[in-house]
Structures are given as structure tokens and as C-alpha cells.
Amino acid sequence: MVDAPKFIVDCNVGKLTKWLRLMGYDARFFDGSDDSQLVAVAQAEGRVILSRDTQIMKRRVITSGQLQAILIQSDEPERQIRQVIDTLHLDCRFKPFTLCLECSQPLVERGKGEVKDLVPPYVFQTQSQFMQCPACHRIYWRGTHWRAMTQRLENFTQVV
Ligand SMILES: [Zn+2]
């Protein structure tokens, strides 16, 4: 899937970062305040800009279509992600459970034995599949938090 869009998420719509990563889309969070830098990173890395900042949308590189940007309309994260999904026709079950929600790194599968001392005993007993982020070393499993997030995502992407 070479064509899957990558994103740079402005800090004014920061919550989109996790939702995109949850679906498996590479999303970089931009916490600076310098619009020029945001645009420069987007261009260098081929990322779609997501922002509520109307000034960014007026830049020539965007109005000319060289760089894609989506002006996010709503304050509500759920409406925001709907807008992105609808605009780009994203698949909300693209590659769930493949990217770290904290740093967007591809997760690596870990055997049960490898995570024994790294997860709570209850999780170790009840889960069989584990993934780890090579960058921050966070361990992921399909626990209740994961299920709650994917369910929310499905719920609000199904509403027509
Ligand atoms: Zn990580």
C-alpha cells in the first residue's frame, strides 16, 4: 500500500493523530507554532496537512495544489476524523494494530515469552498476541482499551 496517505497533524487538531495511527495511517504530530516549518515538513515528507488554521490554507503551495491540506471544520474529534475519512475516502480498518499510537513507528510482533515480565500478569494470562514499538518499547495487546477505541471508531464512521 504505497499510496496510503501520510499525515502531519497540527497541534490545534492533535487528537486526530491517535485515531489515524489506530487505523494504521502514518501520522506525525506537529507541536510547533511556526506554520512555515509545518509546511516544510509536509513537503519534505509528502504528508497531508490537517489543521484548523485558515492562514495555512492560503499559502500558495496549498492553493496551487502542490501540497494537500484539509481545513478541519469541527471542534469535536469525532467529527474531525469523520471529515478526514470522508474527504480522502480512508479505510477505517486499513491496518489496525500496526503502528505505535505514541510515535507512529511500525509495531513488531512479540512472542508471549518475550513480554512475560513487561505486562501485567492478568494480561499475560488472557492475551495471546503482543506487539511492541521498537522506538518507545511500549507493548500493545488487544485489551479493553484497544477494543473501546476501535469500537468508537467503527461507531462514528458508520453513521451516515
Ligand atoms: Zn512508540
pLDDT bracket for residue 160 (50, 70, 90): very low
* Cα-to-centroid distance, 18 and ligand 1 (Å): 12
* Cα-to-centroid distance, 54 and ligand 1 (Å): 31
The 10s digit of each residue's pLDDT in 98-130 is 999 999 999 999 999 999 999 999 999 999 999
Q: Whole-angstrom Cα distance, residue 71 to residue 145?
A: 30
Residues, CB within 5 angstroms of ligand 1 (ion):
100, 102-103, 133, 135-136
* Cα-to-centroid distance, 134 and ligand 1 (Å): 7
Is it the case that residue 155 has pLDDT exceeding 70? yes
Q: In terms of pLDDT, which residue wins out, 156 or 20?
A: 20
CA within 13 Å, CB half, 91: 9
Instruction: Please give the full DSSP string across 111-149, using - where no structure is assigned.
Output: -HHHHTTTS-HHHHHH---EEE-TTT--EE-S-HHHHHH
The 10s digit of each residue's pLDDT in 46-63 is 999 999 999 999 999 999
* Cα-to-centroid distance, 24 and ligand 1 (Å): 13
The 10s digit of each residue's pLDDT in 86-95 is 999 988 777 8
The pTM (predicted TM-score) of the whole model is: 0.86
* Cα-to-centroid distance, 138 and ligand 1 (Å): 6
Per-residue confidence (pLDDT) for residue 159, from 0 to 100: 52
